[in-house]
Structure 1
């Protein structure tokens, strides 16, 4: 007879599973209780940047880069085209105004000058011939006037004599009338001769005036042509340093082509590139500062170029007061450009935390410095060193300003 066996209620396998579940739940409960319901993370304090919130003088500014340029640059262009024949100086030399830089040759221009000179000389010769002819004509007119005047005097003498003789019945009436008619005729000839001489004088003066005007215009044209030939010698327009000279012996240069430039080195300015985001806040008179060789120097905006290119615009800044010793053209300066006046504010140092928080919250250390927890904040303006704190923090608070990339959604940090 078979004896029925009692089925075991707990097998070894079931017991192991139950024990594992209990341990897992216990571990979860322990973690929840120990964290107080919030996620925590142990971090090494030495890898964090901790800053103390403090009150201080705040001025909103932005970092910009500027390039040192001469205070003025005069460009050298080929006023007349030609072939480079001589180069008198080397690039980089200090020039005086009027000193020659290079010489061009232009056969057509030089030939035109010769033709213009010939034209002037021919016109001058014609003027001299015309003047001689006018003088000779005047002499002839004067001689004719003298003859007519002599004939008038003789006719008047005869007429007066015949009048007396006629009264004495020494001559007949016919002789008297004949002398009277001759006298009147000579008077008319005299008036006509004088009129002809006056008109001839006026005509001569007009011709001489026209000739003089024509000669003057031709002379000016000659001077202009000589000036164009002289422009084949390119000269420094002002005192300064010759830079960017682009010319070689035998090279052909067209009219208006850029040959180089002369930098006025009596002073410097700084050309600054700024993001177009700030264009409405930039104006002449704003100041910026930079540090070089351990000293601070000040710049002031004198001119704003409002044209935007590739999202940026430019301004020219001039040195206020002393200029740094040894500064050179093309040198790059890192400038802090002020956008506001100085004021008292609550400050927190800039750091990598802003990239993750957007300035909406920050990790604040507890009083004992062993933990850090999230607090909501509000930041205002910023400069190259600080953010302006508007809400959420008090003077003396210690906060973590380094990057939060590895913290994820952690609510509290345990500092080891």
Structure 2
């Protein structure tokens, strides 16, 4: 059935003229007119504008980074200026004695008597405190007795050696005398043999006795030389031993004398706090003696300046000049210690432990671009700044290079122009920002 209808329709189309078909179609597709509401037009236009504005905002934020709006009253704005940069840093130094001698107990004991008080002005040799130690006294007496006995024994040995030497001399004198008598007797006997007054046997006996004495003399002389050499060596050893024993005895006596603690130098006694009856251990510190009216300054400097501080650099306190005398190599808690000494005279009225403000000169003054020293430096390390725009409505982050700094100004090396304004207040809340908008 469908195929038959389709065939009929195709035959009708083929039979109808083209114009008739066109009219039939146009009569079927009539245009229907609609009227749009003005409210809908404006609503669509507004949505398109919002989308464009949001896209522009996102593009702007992407190109300029993070933005923060800040209150003008919460920031400090400073201007880049030109001036003389004085290369110094302020330092707070502590007054300490230029020379300190510590009082330590050489020998321990019990405090028997205190002769001075803390803060006393002492001269060298003044007695400060007396100690007592029964065991040390007994030990010293025992050592003295033993040393005395050994010295007496050595004196006895020396006396025996001297007597032996003198005995050798007497023997030699006796032998020589006998040789002289026998020589004279032999000569007389030989002249009497011819007369028959004396027998030949008697003469031979005298000659034999003379030879015996001569041999004895040679042996005695040899023995005397050997004994003299050995006695000399022994006497030298005994004298050396005697010197050591006497030195030991002196040390033993000195230990007893050390129980009386005296001032080794002149100065002011400080840190002295002992009581009568108190037991003091060997090596225990009793106090110290500070040189009077002679002070130095001890200061701690930030390790940032470690490479720029050296011995011989000058500093000033009011009208008084100081110089660095010692730089300690240890760095503790980000600081290192330095000792200053006064060049000519020192201020009157300063006291130990007092702190005073001084200026340490690091280099010569020179012309430079400057910005005020602010808290921003601790946050940025001097590597970047917020630079205020010409209209003052915002500040942009900019990389800069800063140089020397003191407590008032920081030297600008590059990145800023004269007359520009920068934010010098703390950056702790702006670390990740690229731009600040001022309200």
TM-score by length of 1: 0.74
Match of residue 333 from structure 1: 356
Q: Is the 8 A contact 1:138 1:197 kept in 2?
A: yes
Alignment of 1:217-228 (within 5 A): 217-228=244-255
Correspondence 1:167-206 to 2 at 5 A: 167-202=194-229, 204-206=231-233
1:164 is displaced (CA, Å) by 0.8
Please give the alpha-carbon distance, in whole angstroms, between the structure 1 residues aligned to 2:315 and 2:389.
Answer: 34
Q: For residues 179 and 110 of structure 1, what CA distance do their matches in structure 2 show?
A: 71
Structure 1 position 360 matched with structure 2 position 385: yes
Aligned to 1:118: 145
Structure 2 residue aligned with 1:161: 188
Question: In the TM superposition, what whole-angstrom CA distance separates every residue of 1:287-340 from its partner, at most 9, and x where no partner exists?
Answer: 3445xxxx3544332222111223322121223444233222111233444444
Task: Deviation per CA, 1:110-141: give whole Å up to 9, x if none.
Answer: 22222232233323433444455455555555
CA contact (8 A) 1:349 1:401 kept: yes
- In the other structure, the counterpart of 1:312 is 335
Instruction: Name the counterpart of 2:400.
Output: 378
User: Alignment partner for residue 151 of structure 1, among 173, 178, 182?
Assistant: 178
Partner of 2:116: 89
The root-mean-square deviation of aligned C-alpha atoms, in Å, is 4.1
Structure 2 distance, partners of 1:353, 1:372, is 20
Kept in 1: contact 2:385–2:422 (CA 8 A): no
The yes-or-no answer on 1:100 pairing with 2:127 is yes
Q: 1:380 to 1:207 in 2, by over 3 A?
A: closer
Structure 2 stretches lacking a partner, 5+ long: 1-36, 54-66
Under a length normalisation based on structure 2, what TM-score does the superposition of the two structures give?
0.70
Compare CA radii of gyration and give the structure with the larger one: 2
Contact 1:361/1:378, CA 8 A, preserved across alignment: no
| SS of 1:300 mapped into structure 2 | strand
Q: 1: CA distance between counterparts of 2:289 and 2:379?
A: 51
Q: Structure 1 residues 268, 157: closer, same or farther in 2, change over 3 A?
A: same
CA separation of 1:379 and 1:331: change in aligned 2, threshold 3 A: farther
Q: How far apart, in 2, do the equivalents of 1:409 and 1:215 lie?
A: 90
Task: Give the superposition deviation at 1:247.
Answer: 2.7
What is the CA-CA distance between 1:385 and the residue it aligns to? 0.6
Q: Answer 1 or 2: which has greater strand percent.
A: 1
Q: Is the helix fraction higher in 1 or 2? A: 2
Aligned to 1:4: none
- Contact 1:66 1:270 survives alignment (8 Å): yes
Q: Deviations over 1:167-204 (max 9, x none)?
A: 33444433332232222223333434444455555555
Distance across 2 between alignment mates of 1:258 and 1:385 = 46
- Aligned equivalents of 1:166, 1:253: Cα separation in 2: 97
Q: Distance in 2 between matches of 1:200 and 1:41?
A: 112
- 8 A contact 2:323–2:343 mirrored in 1: yes
Distance change >3 Å, CA 348–CA 132, structure 1 → 2: closer
- Number of residue pairs aligned between Structure 1 and Structure 2: 379
**Which residue of structure 1 lines up, in the alignment, with residue 373 of structure 2?**
350
Matches of 1:353 and 1:51 in 2, distance apart? 12
Change (3 A) 1:114 1:353: closer
